[in-house]
């Protein structure tokens, strides 16, 4: 572990890292460029790759605050985040990904919200969109505007939202809360480890999730149309297994919705000729149902 000392730590930024050294470097540089001073801030990078690539990145960046490097090969996202929490000394914990580029006021916005919302059960999520340096395709625009990715439409700045927006790519919460509940390390299905923790925190500790529109982060990750089928099938598969594990928490479609999805899939050839967004939506629903069916046989 690389360890830079400081007297008091206000916030700990936890970054699980896995085989994205170039993206991680950009992520760290964005944190170092915050408008808020970083004297009482620490960064904890938990490296999930066996090669230890993140450690090499940290060794070669000009550090503007304390950075702790934790090698944690091939143990998964949930375990990586829990390992980060274990090493964190800050009152506030912020989670981002190794492919997230934060805006200059990102940290200040999160911390200001926590100054107003001092309760242990207050959680803050920020807004995430695409990194402008990417070639942002029509398909990627659809993913975040009607597609199966992060959804912020309809959220109001400073207002509460639900646990379906408990996105750990841009979130902050009190460390005392995370000392009560950790990520479930036995449940590391794609995307659902976030929602599962949010569900537990809501049920047991009555958390309030506040939306901070100005805590902007940019997703530095290229998505391609060719991956849609695999991506949405995996979502259906993991959603079904999640539903089996948590019967009182609804994440899979009702029989009525399933019937509608089946009808929609019959229209795929027509949608392909009329409008790409309709076609992508229909293909996504078809593959989601396939994933659910596969999981039902487990």
pLDDT tens-digit profile of 201-252? 999 999 999 999 999 999 999 999 999 999 999 999 988 988 888 887 888 9
> In a 10 Å sphere around its CB, with 0-12 CB exposed, 13-18 middle and 19+ buried, how is residue 8 labelled?
exposed
Tokens for 185, please give them: 């390390």
What is the residue whose two structure tokens read 């993913």?
143
Please list the alpha-helical segments (H only) found in the chain.
21-32, 53-59, 77-87, 106-116, 138-144, 175-178, 192-205, 228-245, 255-266, 268-274, 276-296
Q: So what's the pLDDT on residue 7?
A: 63
Map residue 296 onto helix, strand or coil.
helix
The pLDDT assigned to 190 comes to 64
Record the pTM.
0.92
Q: Residue 189's pLDDT is what?
A: 64
DSSP label at residue 191: T
3-state helix, strand, coil in the chain (%, to 5): 45, 20, 40
Identify the segments of the chain with pLDDT beneath 70.
1-7, 188-191
Is 16 exposed, middle or buried, given 0-12, 13-18 or 19+ CB atoms closer than 10 A? buried
pLDDT at res. 13: 98
CA angle 110, 115, 117 (to 5 degrees): 90
| Per-residue tokens: 227 | 């991956």
* Exposed / middle / buried, residue 258 (Cβ in 10 Å: 0-12, 13-18, 19+): middle
Structural domains for the chain: 11-219 (3.90.550.10), 225-296 (no CATH)
Buried/exposed code over 58-90 (b: 16+ C-beta within 10 A; e: otherwise)? beeeeebbbbbbbebeeebbbbbbbbbbebbeb
Instruction: Give the model's pLDDT for residue 121.
Output: 96
Q: How many residues does the chain have?
A: 298
Location of structure tokens 């487990």: 298
Predicted local distance difference test score (pLDDT) of residue 113 = 95
Residues 183-210 pLDDT 10s: 988 776 666 889 889 999 999 999 999 9
Cα angle vertex 193, ends 197, 56, to 5°? Answer: 115
Which residue do the tokens 């505007």 mark? 145
């Amino acid at each position: 572990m690389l360890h830079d000392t400081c007297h008091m730590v206000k916030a700990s930024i936890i970054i699980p890292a896995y085989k994205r050294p170039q993206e991680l470097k950009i992520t760290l540089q964005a944190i170092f460029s915050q408008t808020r001073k970083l004297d009482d801030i620490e960064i904890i990078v938990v490296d999930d790759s066996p090669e230890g690539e993140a450690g090499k990145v940290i060794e070669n960046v000009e550090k503007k605050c304390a950075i702790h490097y934790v090698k944690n090969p091939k143990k998964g996202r949930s375990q990586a985040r829990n390992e980060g929490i274990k090493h964190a000394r800050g009152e506030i914990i912020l989670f981002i990904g190794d492919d997230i580029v934060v805006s200059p006021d990102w940290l200040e916005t999160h911390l200001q919200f926590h100054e107003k919302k001092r309760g242990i059960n207050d959680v803050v999520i920020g807004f995430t969109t695409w990194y402008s340096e990417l070639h942002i395709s029509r398909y990627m625009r659809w993913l975040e505007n009607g597609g199966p990715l992060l959804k912020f439409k309809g959220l109001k700045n400073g207002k509460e939202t639900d646990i379906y927006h408990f996105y750990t790519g841009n979130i902050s919460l009190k460390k005392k809360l995370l000392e009560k509940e950790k990520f479930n390390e036995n449940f590391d299905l794609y995307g659902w480890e976030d929602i599962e923790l949010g569900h537990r925190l809501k049920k047991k500790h009555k958390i309030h999730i506040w939306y901070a529109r100005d805590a902007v982060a940019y997703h530095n990750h290229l998505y391609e149309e060719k991956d849609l089928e695999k991506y949405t099938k995996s979502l259906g598969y993991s959603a079904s297994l999640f539903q089996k594990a948590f019967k009182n928490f609804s994440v899979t479609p009702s029989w009525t919705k399933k019937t509608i999805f089946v009808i929609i899939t019959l229209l795929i050839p027509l949608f392909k000729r009329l409008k790409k967004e309709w076609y992508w939506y229909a293909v996504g629903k078809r593959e989601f149902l396939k994933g659910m069916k596969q999981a039902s046989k487990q």
